Amino acid sequence: MRTQVGIVGAGPAGLLLSHLLHLRGISSVVLEKRSRDYVERRVRAGVLEQGTVDTLVEAGVGARMLREGLPHNGIELRYGGQGHRIAFEKLVPGRSITVYGQQEVVKDLIAARLEAGGDVRFEIEDVALHALDPEPGSGPYLTFGGERLDCDVIAGCDGFHGVSRPSIPEGILSVFEREYPFAWLGILAHVAPSSEELIYTRTERGFALHSMRSPTVSRFYLQVPPDATVEEWPDERIWDELKARLETVPGFTLATGEIFEKGVTPMRAFVAEPMQHGRLYLAGDAAHIVPPTGAKGLNLAVADVRVLTEAIDRYLTTGSAGLLDGYSAACLKRIWRAQHFSWWMTTLLHTFDSDDEYARRLQLSYLDYVTTSEAAATTLAENYVGMPW
Ligand code: APR
Ligand code: PHB
């Protein structure tokens, strides 16, 4: 078999890449390890930057997102017994975010790919990558289930635990990482949001986040120890802790409801450089991950794939590999900005066992600065809604 672009992984990165290539008349095959049902149900974050929304709309996969997504013009920072709104409409006029679950984006992309006759294969468990650095005139190829798929380029979009990054020979990648000494317990509940805006709250008991998915479904996260399990967190305990961390301003009551999803997400940061080797290009979580505090993971995957689409198109239509050669460098500027922003939001809002009173005062001082200085608030706002492409 032959295709122009062999894509490993059907998360947001692989599916969007396949669709953007299709719109430019470039063929691809997407090979996904899990079932369609599994990837459509996998619950992840849900904040889309303005540029992500625009990209999905331009690609013709934004109709349901525009109908069902929840546009937001701000977030609330809550600490020290007070809530403070960071007002995007004032600080970064014309730019906002949309709350829409990542698995809904994945559902829309799969539907669009299949409707356009796209080749997306699920439950392919034994993908292997070959000839990544091919002789001139030949290409790399993928094998799976006894078949061979020849390609012009391979896109490794198979997430942090995928097979693409480990296929790069040793000694080529530099890896930069940080583990945080806590995790997030995330839940979905059948209850109307108790707040107009997302609430990021710092308390002496730890961080909590109030987000939402629809007028009847709310999403919450709690900072928990790194080895926490969902078994240790029965529903009652979760609501008690959410109330303790969120009912900290006068007049605010947290509405509760039936919890129908629970999971623990580790908090870590990771970047592999360069994001390419020979004719293999890594995109999304395969190359980099951020802690979810800044909600940048999905948005970075979209940014990578935009750059990669342009570079592949140039290569296949003109034979010039210039943009492809510069792919990693072009992406890494945005990735490191998001790494810094995610680290900064995480550090600002979580409690660290290692913190002494000095560190605590610094944290509170910075929170006061961000909530009173327009310059500091603008820094948060422009990063949150997403830096320009
Ligand atoms: N072969 C084929 N597919 C694989 C393999 C493999 N060996 N290993 C993993 N996969 C699949 C996973 O099952 C998953 O569907 O690759 C896909 C990777 O998707 P994501 O993990 O969603 O990563 P990405 O598309 O880069 O999207 C980034 O996802 O993890 C979140 O926070 C992250 O929001 C960000 C977004
Ligand atoms: C979510 O709604 O899942 C969400 C929102 C904001 C974040 C992370 C996750 O920072």
287 is a domain residue: yes
87 is a domain residue: no
Confidence label for 381 from pLDDT (cuts 50, 70 and 90): very high
81 is a domain residue: no
Claim to verify: residue 311 and residue 372 sit in the same structural domain? no
Active site residue 288: no
- Using the predicted structure, report yes or no on whether residue 134 has a pLDDT greater than 90: no
- What is the domain range of residue 143? 5-70+99-177+268-343
Active site residue 72: yes
CB–CB of 376/308 below 8 Å? no
91 is a domain residue: no
Reply yes or no: is the peptide bond before residue 266 cis, omega within 30 of 0.
Answer: no
Ligand 1 center to 9 CA (angstroms)? 6
Claim to verify: residue 304 and residue 208 sit in the same structural domain? no
- Using the predicted structure, report yes or no on whether residue 268 has a pLDDT greater than 90: yes
Q: What is the CATH number of the domain that holds 229?
A: 3.30.9.10
**Averaged pLDDT of the chain:** 97
85 is a domain residue: no
Looking at the structure of the chain, the number of domains it has is 2
How many angstroms separate the CA atoms of 361 and 254, rounded? 28
Q: What is the CATH number of the domain that holds 27?
A: 3.50.50.60
Ligand 1 center to 8 CA (angstroms)? 9
**Helix residue ranges per DSSP H, 59-194:** 63-68, 88-91, 102-115
Claim to verify: residue 331 and residue 368 sit in the same structural domain? no
Check: pTM over 0.95? Answer yes or no: yes
Claim to verify: residue 310 and residue 205 sit in the same structural domain? no
Q: What is the pLDDT of residue 358?
A: 96
- Using the predicted structure, report yes or no on whether residue 137 has a pLDDT greater than 90: no
Cβ within 8 Å of residue 37, ≥6 positions away: none
315 is a domain residue: yes
Confidence label for 166 from pLDDT (cuts 50, 70 and 90): very high
89 is a domain residue: no
| C-alpha torsion 189→193→198→204, nearest 10 | -70
Cβ count within 10 A of residue 121: 15
Claim to verify: residue 317 and residue 184 sit in the same structural domain? no
Three-state SS across 317-362? HHCCCHHHHCHHHHHHHHHHHHHHHHHHHHHHHCCCCCCCHHHHHH
Ligand 2, pocket-test mutation among 42, 43, 44, 47, most atoms within 8 A of CB: 47
- Using the predicted structure, report yes or no on whether residue 135 has a pLDDT greater than 90: no
Q: What is the pLDDT of residue 383?
A: 98
| Tens-place pLDDT, residues 79-132 | 999 999 999 999 999 999 999 999 999 999 999 999 999 999 999 999 999 999
Which ligand is the nearest neighbour of the Cα of 34? 1
Catalytic residue among 281, 296, 327, 350: 296
Provide the 3-class DSSP secondary structure of residue 273.
strand
Claim to verify: residue 258 and residue 376 sit in the same structural domain? yes
Catalytic residue among 100, 292, 315, 327: 292
- Using the predicted structure, report yes or no on whether residue 306 has a pLDDT greater than 90: yes
- Residues in contact with ligand 1 (CB, 6 Å cut-off): 8-14, 31-34, 39, 44-45, 102, 127, 157-159, 161-163, 284-286, 297-298, 301
User: For 210, phi and psi rounded to 5 degrees?
Assistant: -105, 115
Claim to verify: residue 152 and residue 66 sit in the same structural domain? yes
Claim to verify: residue 260 and residue 377 sit in the same structural domain? yes
117 is a domain residue: yes
Claim to verify: residue 116 and residue 250 sit in the same structural domain? no
Claim to verify: residue 109 and residue 230 sit in the same structural domain? no
Claim to verify: residue 219 and residue 134 sit in the same structural domain? no
- CA of 44, closest atom in ligand 2: 3
Q: What is the pLDDT of residue 136?
A: 84
- Using the predicted structure, report yes or no on whether residue 59 has a pLDDT greater than 90: yes
| Tens-place pLDDT, residues 147-161 | 999 999 999 999 999
Claim to verify: residue 127 and residue 253 sit in the same structural domain? no
CB–CB of 25/316 below 8 Å? no
Angle, CA 76 vertex, CA 75 and CA 82 arms, to 5°: 170
- CA of 125, closest atom in ligand 1: 1
Cβ count within 10 A of residue 292: 21
Ligand 2 center to 318 CA (angstroms)? 41
Ligand 2 center to 103 CA (angstroms)? 13
